[in-house]
Amino acid sequence: MDYLKTFRYDPGKVLPDYDTGFTGNYSSKSDITKDFETGIKRLRELQSMLYAQGKHGVLIILQAMDAAGKDGVIKHVMAGVNPQGCQVKSFKAPSGEELAHDFMWRCVKALPQRGNIGIFNRSYYEEVLIVKVHPEILKKQNLPYFDQHQKAGNDFWTDRYDDINNFEKYLTNNGFRIIKFFLNVSRQEQKKRFLSRIDKSSKNWKFTMSDVNERQHWDKYAAAYEQMLHQTDADHAPWYVIPADKKWYMRNAVCQVLVEHLEQLQLTYPEVGQAHLEAIGRARLLLEDEG
């Protein structure tokens, strides 16, 4: 399967057209285990070359409704990579310091360096998602042209989409590969997972009333996600809509998309010059003489 083509956002489709329970040719977790393990192994190899080469950086963005499985993707897909070359940043409600800066500031600070993989669990896209659903949040941002008597119109959101697109193009121009995932969970599956968090004591810590409160805005969030995908998908920073009702399939799909992207970078280990080889030879002699 060509995972890049299969899950690439299609501007001709609306979110209800996507099958959140899609599992391809797999019928169960056991069917996919071998392919998933192969993908994890290949991802580990590619990350090692990425780190050694140090020319490219990779930014992975995970966006989703609550309980879609972002944390699980990070835990299972990235479990085998070298933590020295991979950093995860989760973005919660902004602090007072963060609100005193531009909306990109806290994300810019967390960008990976070349040779590294950075994972954003939520991101600057929250500024066109939760802020769009709850525009009262804008009042806290102290924007000079926005006060409590104003509402954010289409021009405001267009500017934010443009800012995001320009920022991602800038990163791409500087050698960073941006891979964006929307983990697409159904409302029915989200309900099931919330109930599981309530019913199982070991999962109680995951549940908050805000989860249920935000669920009441499902349609508004769906509209915001659809607009976000349409306005910010680009060849240099593509969105992938990943079916998330079956976690085992979702994790494999994310892994395979990452592998295919990293393979496009044609990564190799740095070549060793003659002088370095001669130095290695001298080092071997010195080490052997110690014995």
**CATH no. for residue 167?**
3.40.50.300
Alpha carbons 220 and 224: distance in angstroms, whole number? 6
Task: Give the pLDDT of residue 280.
Answer: 87
Please choose, from the candidates 72, 94, 64, 86, the residue with its C-alpha nearest in 3D space to the C-alpha of residue 242.
64
Q: What is the pLDDT of residue 148?
A: 57
* pLDDT computed for residue 123 by the predictor: 98
Contact 32, 252 (CB under 8 A): yes
Q: Which domain holds residue 23?
A: 3-290
Into how many domains does the chain fold?
1
Q: How many Cα atoms sit within 13 Å of 99 on the Cβ side?
A: 12
pLDDT of residue 120: 98
Q: Would you give the DSSP letter of residue 138?
A: G
Q: Which pLDDT score is estimated for 259?
A: 98
- Which pLDDT belongs to residue 67? 96
Written as one letter, the residue type at 13 is K
Q: What is the pLDDT of residue 274?
A: 86
Residue closest to 182 by CA, chosen among 62, 20, 8, 67: 62
How far is the CA of 166 from the CAs of 100, 131, 161, 169, in angstroms? 22, 20, 9, 5
Q: How many CB atoms lie within 10 A of CB 118?
A: 21
Helices of type H across the chain? 3-7, 29-53, 70-77, 96-99, 105-108, 130-133, 154-173, 187-199, 209-215, 218-232, 247-264, 274-290
Q: What is the pLDDT along the chain (291 residues), one digit of tens a residue?
A: 899 999 999 999 999 999 999 999 999 999 999 999 999 999 999 999 999 999 999 999 999 999 999 999 999 999 879 989 999 999 999 999 999 999 999 999 999 999 999 999 999 999 999 999 998 899 888 888 776 556 788 899 999 999 999 999 999 999 999 999 999 999 999 999 999 999 988 889 888 888 889 999 999 999 999 999 999 999 999 999 999 999 999 999 999 999 999 999 999 999 888 888 889 889 898 888 986
Q: What pLDDT shows up at residue 210?
A: 87
The total of other beta-carbon atoms located within 10 Å of residue 10's CB is 14
Q: What is the pTM of this model?
A: 0.93
